[in-house]
Amino acid sequence: MGLLSWVGRQALVFSETLGEFALFTYRAFLGVFSGVWSRKDLLEQLERVGANSVFVVSITSAFTGMVMAVQTLDQFVRFGATSYIGGVIALSMVREMSPVLTGLVVSGRVGASMAAEIGSMKVTEQLDALRTFGLDPNVFVGVPRLLAGLVMLPVLTLFSFVIGIGGGFLYVSAHGINPHLFWRSVEALLNPSDIYGGLLKAAVFGLLITISACGQGFLTGQGARGVGTATTGAVVWGNMLILVFNYILSSVLFGGIKG
Amino acid sequence: MQGVSVGFAGKKIIFNIDMTLMSGEVTCLMGPSGSGKTTTLRLVAGLLKPHEGEIRLLGKTINSETDEDELIDIRRELGVVFQGGALFDSMSVGQNIAFPLRYCRNITEEETISSMVLDMLEHVELGDVREKFPSELSGGMRKRVAIARALVHSPELLLLDEPTTGLDPITARHIDQLILDLCRKFGFGVLVVTHDLTSALGIGHHLLLMEEGVISWRGPSRDWSTSDHPGVRRFAEGMISVQRSGGSGE
C-alpha cells in the first residue's frame, strides 16, 4: 500500500511538472510576439547563457576532443586507418558530443541558476508584483530566458565543435599523425548536414534547458527548501530531457543506413 | 466586496465576506495569522478570483467568470505593497520605482520618468537613492521604496500587506504616518492588512477583524476599545499578553 501510494504521488508530481512545462512553453511562445518582455533582459540572458559559459564549454570540449583522440588513435593505428581519425573525431563531436556536452554543461550551470532565481522571485512575491503591474511572469521572465537558450546553445555548440576538434588534432599531431591527413579526413567525412543537424539539436536542447529551469522556478514551493528543490529539479529534468531528445533527434537526423 | 468566498484544494479559506473601501480613508483588516487576511487582500488585488460572490472595483466586476485580460486592466489601477516589499532585487531603486510607469502607464520619456521617480522618493521621505539596490537598504527604507513603487502610477486604491511587520516600533510609526499622509494628500482608498493593533488603531478609519475566514467584527476605530465582542477582546488581550511576556513590566 505504501509503495502504491508512493508511485501514485510520484506520477502526480511527474504529470504536474510536465503540465507546468507545457503551459509555460505555450504562454511563452505566444508571448514572444504579443506579450510584454524586456529587450534589455534578453541581452543580459544572452550574456548569461552564452558569454559566461564559454570558458567551461571550452575546457569540457577541448578535453573531450583529446580523450576521443586518445581512444581512437591506438585502434586506428592498429587497423591502419589513421587517415580517418580526423573525420571520426569531427563527426563524433559535431553530431553528438558537442551538442550533448554543451547542453549538459549549460543545464548544470545556467539552468540551475535560472530556476533558483525564478524560485526566489516567487518566494519573495516578486512574481506576484509583476502580475499586479499587469504583466505575465511566464512572458516577462520566461521569454528572454527561452530566447537566450534557443540562440546561444547553437553558438556555444559551434564553438565547442571547433575547440573539440582542435583538442583532438593537438593530441594526434603530438603523436606523429600527419596534420594534413587529419584535416583532409575531416573534410572528406564531415558534411554540412552533420553541422546543421548538430546545431538543430543544440537549439532544441537550449529550449529544453530553459523550459525545465523556468517551469521548475514557477513551480517552486515555499521557503528556501522549495528553491533548493526547484534548482535540483531543473538540472535533473534538463539533463533527462536532453538525453531523451538526443536519442530521438539522432534517430531522425542521422539514423538508418545510408548507402 | 459582496458575499465573497474562496478556497484551495477543496477547503474554503474565506466565507461570505462583505467589505467596502472608501476613497480617502484607511481600512485596516486585522486578525491572527492564518485567518485569511492576505488571501482577502489578494482577492481585492485581482490576484485571485472569488469562487462565490463578486468584487466591484473601479466600475468593473470580478467574479469566478472574470477573464485574465479584465483582471490585468484592474490590477494596473491598483498599488500593492507586499509583506516583504517584493522589490525586484536585480534592479536599482530607481528602476524599481520606474517600473509601473513603463509598464502600467507606457511612459517612455526618460526625463519624465526620472523626475517622477525623484518626486515619489521625496513623497516617501527618502533622498536620492535611485542608484542603490534593494539589498543595500534597511527594512524601513525598503518598505518606503515599495510604497513609492506602488504609488508612482497614481493608483485608485492602495493595498498594503503587513506594512509594519519586521520593523522596529519607531520605523513602524513612521510608516504609519507616511500611509496616512499619502492617503490625505492623494485621496485614494487604502486597505491595510495587519496584525499590528497599535498600527491599525493609529491609522485606520475603519477596522475589520477576521477570524477563521470570517469577518467577525467591523466598526470605526473609536469603537474598538469599547467593544464587548469576544473576538475583539481575545485579539486585544492576546496583544497585551504578548507585550507582558515580552517584559514590558506591566
Asked if residue A5 is part of any domain, the answer here is no
pLDDT at residue A139, rounded to an integer = 95
Q: What is the mean pLDDT of residues A221-250?
A: 94
Classify residue A143: in a domain, yes or no.
yes
Shortest CB distance from A133 goes to which of B82, B84, B103? B103
The answer to whether position A22 is within a domain reads no
Q: Work out the pLDDT band at A258, boundaries 50, 70, 90.
A: low
Q: Is the pLDDT of residue B248 over 70?
A: no
CA distances to B60, B71, B72 from B52, rounded to whole Å, are 16, 16, 20
A21 falls within a domain:
no
Which residues on A lie below 8 Å from B87 (Cβ)?
126
**C-alpha B172 chain-centroid distance:** 14
3-state SS, residue A141:
coil
Chain A contact present for B75, CB below 8 A = yes
Q: Determine the Cα–Cα distance for residues A19 and A17; give it in Å rounded to an integer.
A: 5
Shortest alpha-carbon distance between residue B204 and chain A (Å) = 24
B41 touches chain A (CB under 8 A): no
Q: Per-residue confidence at B241, pLDDT binned at 50, 70, 90?
A: low
φ, ψ at A220 (rounded to 5°): -50, 135
Q: Chains A and B: how many Cβ contacts under 8 Å? A: 42
- CA of A253, closest CA in chain B: separation in Å? 41
- pLDDT digits over B53-87, tens only? 999 988 889 999 998 888 888 998 899 999 989 99
Predicted confidence (pLDDT) at residue B13 exceeds the cutoff of 80 = yes
Answer yes or no: is A27 within a domain.
no
Question: Across the interface, do B86 and A126 touch by the CB < 8 Å criterion?
Answer: yes
C-beta separation of A120 from A242 below 8 A:
no
For an interface test with A, give the residue of B82, B133, B157 to mutate (most A CBs within 10 A): B82
B242 pLDDT more than 90: no
Give me chain A's average pLDDT, please: 93
Task: Please tell me whether residue A179 adopts helix, strand or coil conformation.
Answer: helix
Residue bearing cell 509555460? A24
Chain B positions touching A131 (Cβ under 8 A) are 47, 75
Domain membership flag for residue A88: yes
| Residue A141 belongs to some domain of the structure | yes
State the ipTM, two decimals: 0.88
Count: domains in chain A: 1
* Residue A134 lies in domain: 37-249
Residue to mutate among A132, A140, A222, with most B CBs inside 10 A, is A132
Which of chain B's residues have a Cβ under 8 Å away from the Cβ of A36? Answer: 103
**pLDDT at residue number B58:** 83
Q: List pLDDT tens digits, range A151-171.
A: 999 999 999 999 999 999 999
Determine the average pLDDT of the residues in A78-98: 91
pLDDT in tens, A46-68: 999 999 999 999 999 999 999 99
Contact at CB, A131 and B47, closer than 8 angstroms = yes
**Is the confidence at residue A257, as pLDDT, over 80?**
no
Answer whether residue A113 is part of any domain: yes
Output the DSSP codes for chain B.
-EEEEEEETTEEEEEEE-----TT-EEEEE--TTSSHHHHHHHHTTSS--SEEEEEETTEEE-TT--HHHHHHHHTTEEEE-TT----TTS-HHHHHHHHHHHTS----HHHHHHHHHHHHHHTT--S-TTS-GGGS-HHHHHHHHHHHHHTT--SEEEEESTTTTS-HHHHHHHHHHHHHHHHHH--EEEEEES-HHHHHHH-SEEEEEETTEEEEEEEGGGTTT---HHHHHHHHHHHHHHHHTT---
Contact: B86, A128; criterion CB under 8 Å: yes
Of B42, B87, B99, the CB nearest to A133: B99
Which of A36, A124, A131 is nearest residue B84 as measured by Cβ atoms? A124
Range in A124-128, A251-255, B98-102 the model is least confident about:
A251-255
* pLDDT tens readout for residues B15-46: 999 999 988 999 999 998 888 999 999 999 99
Q: Can you give the pLDDT at residue B1?
A: 86
Comparing CB atoms, the residue among A125, A133, A134 nearest residue B82 is A125
- Report pLDDT digits (tens) over A91-140: 999 999 999 999 999 999 999 999 999 999 999 999 999 999 999 999 99
Could you tell me if B148 lies within 8 Å of chain A, comparing CB atoms?
no
* B86 Cβ under 8 Å from any chain A Cβ: yes
- State the best of B88, B135, B147 to mutate against chain A, taking most chain A CBs within 10 Å: B88
Residue B127 has pLDDT above 90, yes or no: no
Share above pLDDT 70 across residues of chain A, in percent, rounded to a whole number? 98
